[in-house]
Amino acid sequence: MPTIGVNKADFYKALGREYTKQEFEELCFDFGIELDEDTSESKRPIIDGVEEAPQLKIEIPANRYDMLCFEGIAMNLNIFLGREAMPNFTLKPPSDGQLQTVTVSKDTERIRPYFSCAILRNIKFTKARYESFIALQDKLHHNLARQRTLVAIGTHDLDTIEGPFTYEALPPEEIQFAPLNQTKAMNGKQMMDFYEKDKHLSRYLPIIRDSPVYPIIYDKHRTVLSMPPIINGNHSKITLATRNVLIDITATDKTKLELTNHILVSMFSRYCAEPFTIEPVQIISDHNGQTRQTPDLTPRPTQASTTYINSICGLSESRESLCTSLARMCYHAHPSLTDSDILEVDIPITRADVLHQADIMEDAAVAYGFNSLPRHLPRTTAFTAAALPLNKLADIIRLESAMAGWAEVMPLILCSHDENYAWLNQPVPFSTNQKPVRLQNPKTAEYQIVRTSLLPGLLKTIRENKRHAVPMKIFEVGDVVFQDKGRERRSRNERHFGACWYGRGSGFEQVHGLMDRVMGMLRVGFISREEGLGEEEEEEEGAKGLKGGKGGKGEGKAGKEGLGYWIEEVDDPTYLPAHAAAIYLRLPSSSSSSSSSQPPPPPQRIGTFGILHPTVLKRFELPFPTSVLEMNVEVFL
């Protein structure tokens, strides 16, 4: 969360009294913020030969953009303490009635399409106010504006420029001006090269550098105000002597555009000759329907249920009492005239964090006092949490595999398309329910899809650890993902178990033994293929002259009705010919009675194991033979 530093003496003066550290910590706690540090208790840095004044470093919630500066924190705490009411922000046109205008060019849609503006007339800056004004812009750029990618702010001395203004998008070679704190004029390209090594501005250059046009703001005489989001022009820079400030805001996000304007004017209009008055600006943007006056200071109307607030907080307050409490949190609220349960609430322009009546309920609880809320044990039955059956099954498999001497790995679930298919000699599936989930705009070729097999991750883990001694025995129990149009999220997860043996020998018997161990631990007995298919199916296959199973007769440990598995040779391009086996599972009948007429469910192929094909080893850069196992474990639930 953001931490804001404020001058301790000035802040206590703004609050109207001195506080001990404990008293101020309690005030912060009651309001929902936190005192992070009081620098008066430690050694402070020396600035220009003078020790820095004591500061209070206050941690505020990340969504409270109205508290990113001294003025915002002081205003909110004073309203909370009842020392002042929420200001009434008003628009005041100039005395001649002629608003300043900004015409937005259609070409700006190619780079930063939205524009907003405001004017603070007859503002009086001190050194502290000026520094706070600049610091708020930096905080907004870092937080709300996402490093200027969404919003960029420019401030100008209105007395040094003349309207009407234009907001355009031009090729960088056609843009020529002296940037802030520079005397030499440069074009757009030269500016990119000039600021490439600048510690502060270089991070913003990629936002527009590769664009064929750069955004630019001109006044009536084609004097450049700024080239957002990079830098302002030197001609209109503000100083302590500035009395009229023009604020320009460009954006790619329309909501954050107006929010940024609201925060700036609400925090610093208090220093105007007529406090809390703002001069509007006419924006002419017919091509995208954004012609309007800015800023719009109209509070957002909403409603809140008295029953809802009282039930959540455990209170029985009247509507009038709740309105009084909400006034301490900057709201204007009054009881509805048409519904005895509803509060009509006006959300001020400073409170962008309020999205739902749950936020209003929380503020009502803060104003009432968390420590004053009634405390009682809930009259409900307590429940004990338990692991999901699937996770419990996965943990059992992990434990048994680790006890057998295999090391668990956790590779990434994203991989490239080739790693998942071509490198394993597997074709791309045609069935919709077997296709992979693709990333829409992958940044690298290494992460294109969500894996449908555990094998790529296991083999890449071996590849990156080839320097270790062999043999290496690793396993993973994790999810693979497939498209599934029949589900609400259009995809489904499957929990798989995979293992990999890498060494000088093939290791086929090792993965076979691990598979048998897991099956035994899950109490799934080995059966013959004939037992797995059932007598009737075997007779039908015999009539067709089908080949018998590779699993042999076996011992039939699972009986005729319970879980059982068998293996048989399979021709799979991922594996060496005649060195791979498919794993089949016979599921138990849904009826416990052997005399039931309901047929048992058909056997399922749940996995494969074998020795990898040399082409697969070559693609994954593995010089030694490798055997792998992968099977679906969800079928055991």
Residues 262 and 275: their CA atoms lie apart, in Å, by: 15
Percentage above 90 pLDDT, the chain: 79
Quick: pLDDT tens for 55-90.
999 999 989 999 999 999 999 999 999 999 999 999
Task: Assign a CATH topology to domain 389-527+561-588+600-636.
Answer: BirA Bifunctional Protein; domain 2 (3.30.930)
From the list 387, 386, 400, 388, the residue with the least C-alpha distance to 523 is: 400
- Distance between CA atoms of residues 532 and 565, nearest Å: 7
| Domain boundaries of the chain, sorted by first residue | 3-81, 90-294, 300-372, 389-527+561-588+600-636
Q: Write down the pLDDT at residue 544.
A: 46
Strand partners, 188: none
**Model pTM?**
0.66
Asked if residues 474 and 499 have their Cβ atoms less than 8 Å apart, the reply is: yes
Structural contact between residues 43 and 161, judged by C-beta atoms closer than 8 angstroms: no
* Contact indicator for 188, 210 with CB cutoff of 8 Å: no
Rounded to whole angstroms, the Cα distance separating 88 from 120 reads 16
SS3 sequence of 399-450 = HHHHHCCCEECCCCCEECHHHHCHHHCCCCCCCHHHCCCECCCCCCCCCCEE
pLDDT for the residue 550:
44
C-beta separation of 603 from 627 below 8 A? no
- List of residues 6+ apart from 101 with CB closer than 8 A: 163, 164, 165, 281, 282, 283, 284
Residue 597 pLDDT exceeds 50: yes
Domain 3-81: CATH class, spelled out = alpha beta
Which range scores top for mean pLDDT: 57-66, 180-189, 493-502, 538-547? 493-502
Looking at residue 16, its pLDDT comes to: 92
Whether the predicted pLDDT of 543 surpasses 70: no
What tokens does 291 get?
């012609």
Collapsed DSSP state (helix, strand, coil) of residue 575: strand
pLDDT in tens, 420-470: 999 999 998 887 778 999 998 888 889 999 999 999 999 999 999 989 999
CA-to-CA separations, 612 to 408, 506, 606, 616, in angstroms, rounded: 20, 9, 18, 7
Q: CATH topology of 3-81 equal to that of 389-527+561-588+600-636?
A: no
Q: C-alpha distances in angstroms, 387 versus 390, 460, 477? A: 8, 31, 16
* C-alpha 541 chain-centroid distance: 56
Per residue in 336-363, pLDDT (tens digit) is: 999 999 999 999 999 999 999 999 999 9
Architecture per CATH, 90-294: 3-Layer(bba) Sandwich (3.50)
**Chain centroid to CA 610: how far?**
41
CB 325 within 8 A of CB 367: yes
CATH 3.40.190.10 is right for the domain spanning 300-372: no
Question: Can you give the pLDDT at residue 381?
Answer: 64
